[in-house]
């Protein structure tokens, strides 16, 4: 009788152990996990850069969320001559820059040489990327790199931002982008987007 109970108990214990092991294995192959570095997405085998330009902080906030999730290095694209604080003045200046394909000088052109994956963020300016991002794309060599674009906009969506990025870096692989309205980006959406890219 006791033997039988013991047998039943040990069978149950073995079944629980097997189930636990199976669960552990499936978690191991799943991409999202809180690893020992506290990062949410495991990209330890990739060199990741998050480069962004932001005029009023929305794109910067997305860049920082991506940085926290991936643990990559972060680089702020900054024009040598800061844009005017007055909104309508900057809107007019950006229009002139677009019409004349002006690429303003940067404080630092950055260096993408040591990175495989470059997240590249911009506000949408006149239906495309902001001019300092154009400079960044032309001053660096993106051949065989993966560009993961993201942008924030004021209601018009990404427009031709991502296709224009591909034009300025024709030998890069430009992935699907993450597009958000003003300051509405969500960590959960960003995480889902990155995981779906299978970088
Ligand atoms: C010069 C300028 C041009 C803009 N052009 C557009 C546009 O074409 N389409 C759009 O949806 N939003 C446009 N916006 C709104 C910005 O894309 C939006 O506010 C963005 O989130 C700002 O990002 P930031 O805070 O990182 O600078 C424009 C804003 C500025 C300053």
CA–centroid distance, residue 134 to ligand 1 (Å): 15
Number of domains forming the structure of the chain: 2
Measured from CB, residues less than 6 Å from any atom of ligand 1 are 54-60, 90-91, 94, 123-127, 152-156, 182
Handedness of CA 50, 193, 169, 90 (dihedral sign): negative
Same domain, 19 and 102: no
Same domain, 6 and 45: no
Mutate to test the pocket of ligand 1, among 53, 95, 123, 131 (most ligand atoms within 8 A of CB): 123
Same domain, 4 and 97: no
Q: Within 13 Å of residue 2, how many CA atoms lie on the same side as its CB?
A: 0
Same domain, 105 and 11: no
Same domain, 9 and 105: no
CA–centroid distance, residue 141 to ligand 1 (Å): 27
Extract the tokens encoding 3: 């033997």
8-state DSSP, 41:
B
Angle at 119 between CA 117 and CA 123, to 5 degrees: 160
CA–centroid distance, residue 153 to ligand 1 (Å): 5
> What is the pTM for the complete model shown?
0.84
CA distance 131 to 82: 12
Same domain, 40 and 10: no
Same domain, 18 and 38: no
Q: Which of 83, 168, 93 is nearest to 126 (CA)?
A: 93
Same domain, 178 and 88: yes
Range(s) of the domain holding residue 2: 1-30
- Domain with residue 134: its CATH number is 3.40.50.360
Q: Phi first, then psi: what are they for 113, rounded to 5°?
A: -50, -45
- Would you give per-residue pLDDT tens digits along the chain (199 residues)? 445 544 655 666 555 555 554 544 444 433 433 333 445 677 878 899 999 999 999 999 999 999 999 999 999 999 999 999 999 999 999 999 999 999 999 999 999 999 999 999 999 999 999 999 999 999 999 999 999 999 999 999 999 999 999 999 999 999 999 999 999 999 999 999 999 999 9
CA–centroid distance, residue 92 to ligand 1 (Å): 12
Mutate to test the pocket of ligand 1, among 124, 157, 177, 183 (most ligand atoms within 8 A of CB): 124
Same domain, 82 and 109: yes
């Amino acid at each position: 009788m006791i033997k039988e109970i013991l047998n039943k108990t040990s069978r149950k214990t073995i079944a629980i152990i097997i189930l636990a092991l199976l669960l552990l294995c499936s978690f191991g192959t799943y991409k999202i996990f809180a690893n020992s570095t506290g990062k949410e997405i495991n990209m330890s085998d990739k060199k990741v850069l998050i480069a962004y330009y932001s005029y009023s902080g929305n794109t910067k906030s997305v860049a920082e969320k991506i940085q926290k999730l991936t643990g990559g290095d972060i680089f702020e694209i900054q024009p040598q001559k800061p844009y005017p604080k007055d909104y309508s003045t900057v809107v007019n200046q950006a229009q002139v820059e677009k019409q004349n394909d002006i690429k303003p000088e940067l404080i630092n052109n950055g260096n993408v040489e040591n990175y495989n994956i470059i997240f590249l963020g911009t506000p949408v300016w006149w239906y495309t990327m902001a001019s300092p991002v154009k400079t960044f794309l032309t001053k660096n060599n993106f051949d065989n790199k993966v560009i993961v674009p993201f942008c924030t906009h004021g209601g018009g969506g990404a427009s031709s931002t991502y296709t224009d990025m591909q034009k300025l870096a024709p030998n890069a692989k430009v992935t699907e982008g993450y597009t958000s309205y003003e300051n509405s980006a969500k960590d959960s959406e960003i995480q889902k987007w990155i995981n779906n890219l299978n970088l």
